[in-house]
Amino acid sequence: MSKKGRILVAMSGGLDSTVTAVMLAEEGYEVVGITMKTWDYASSGSSKKETGCCSLDSINDARTIAVKHGIHHMILDIRDEFGDFVINNFVDEYIAGRTPNPCVLCNTHIKWEALLKRANQLDCEFIATGHYAQVRKENNRYVVSKGLDENKDQSYVLWGLSQASLDRTRFPLGQFRKTEIRQMAIDMGYEELAKKSESYEICFVPDNDYRGFLKRRVNGLEERVEGGDFVTRGGKVLGKHRGYPFYTVGQRKGLEIALGEPMFVLEIEPETNRVILGREEELKQKGMWVRGLNMGKYAAIDSPLETITKVRYKDPGTLANIIQEGDRMKVIFNSDVKAIAPGQSAVFYEGNDVVGGGWIEKAFDI
């Protein structure tokens, strides 16, 4: 038995999870590596080579690395759970006129559950991933906070993790910068891996064409939604569109309509198949409702709390007051926020700490 016990590490074959696994092994943990197969690329309908964390190449890379370092490795097939939950939700959200966050759903509802279940079977006390984030216990709560490297921080995608999951989760890379991790990989003999570019695509949409994916996934979708109206907020018809699910709030490019000035998608109305367009300034709003809360630093918010609230992954955040009303959060921003998209994640920060998060329900003006 190792001096620090057994830990289950999610290994994707990429830079971050490789350094995580090798680092923990060198620290004295008995590392068990696990790679999850979430999606069958042959069924994606894409001609593009497999990419991302769940491709066959990545799985083989993870196994090779594990064997080299004497790490027991296994592959876990979670395609059924992934398809039933993440992909069905992805499709349902677009059909409902929202913009989904599949990676958040996958992390919080599929991968962590699968990791903890297997950790129990293998008598692993902890699980570890290569996310750039930190977790600590404070006032009997497990608190996720930003990773040291602000440019690579991934706390935004972890807002949905339960307290029970965080109790057994470790983020070894949270205290390092990406440049340091790349150097560690080079020192470990993985120079090629250190130079490898990162993929930001959704794993089951490898060509980044979500519209094509929806068309292949939903029989008769194009025929059902094509020919709806582009309209202004006042209801003036501007032209025809290709179907409301194929647009997202804030979109400017690819509208295929010439109006003499740049126009943006302001709202999507699935019930009428209308897409509302307007000028850039019309995208700005002062408030929103957030549903499906998962609270982190505090179990609940009893009075208005000043936070920095992010409405998308790369959003630097905006100062806002949040007021909890049951399972919903009312958010009042101190300044205008552009392109608040229903379906995306909203995450509330107090300093570097994640107070909680949820799904954007709707935006409003004050």
The amino acid at 255? L
Element (H or E) spanning 220, and its range? none
Residue 197 token pair: 């570019």
- For residue 106, indicate whether it is catalytic: yes
Nearest to 328 by CA among 275, 283, 364: 364
Measured between alpha carbons, how far is 1 from 278 in angstroms, rounded to an integer?
64
DSSP 84: I
Nearest to 275 by CA among 286, 284, 265: 265
From the centroid of its chain, how far is CA 104?
A: 4
Measured between alpha carbons, how far is 324 from 211 in angstroms, rounded to an integer?
35
Measured between alpha carbons, how far is 63 from 73 in angstroms, rounded to an integer?
6
Nearest to 61 by CA among 15, 101, 108, 5: 15
Render the burial of 170-189: b for 16+ CB within 10 Å, e for the rest.
Answer: bbbbbebbbeebbebbeebe
The contacts of residue 310 (CB under 8 Å, 6+ apart) are 156, 316, 317, 318, 346, 347, 349
Element (H or E) spanning 280, and its range? none
Task: Spot the catalytic one: 53, 103, 124, 203.
Answer: 203
3-state secondary structure of 235: coil
Helix axis angle for 210-217 and 88-95, nearest 10°, is 100
DSSP 334: E
∠ CA 299-302-304, rounded to 5°:
115
- For residue 103, indicate whether it is catalytic: no
Task: Spot the catalytic one: 54, 103, 106, 124.
Answer: 106
3-state secondary structure of 229: strand
Q: Which residues are catalytic?
A: 106, 203
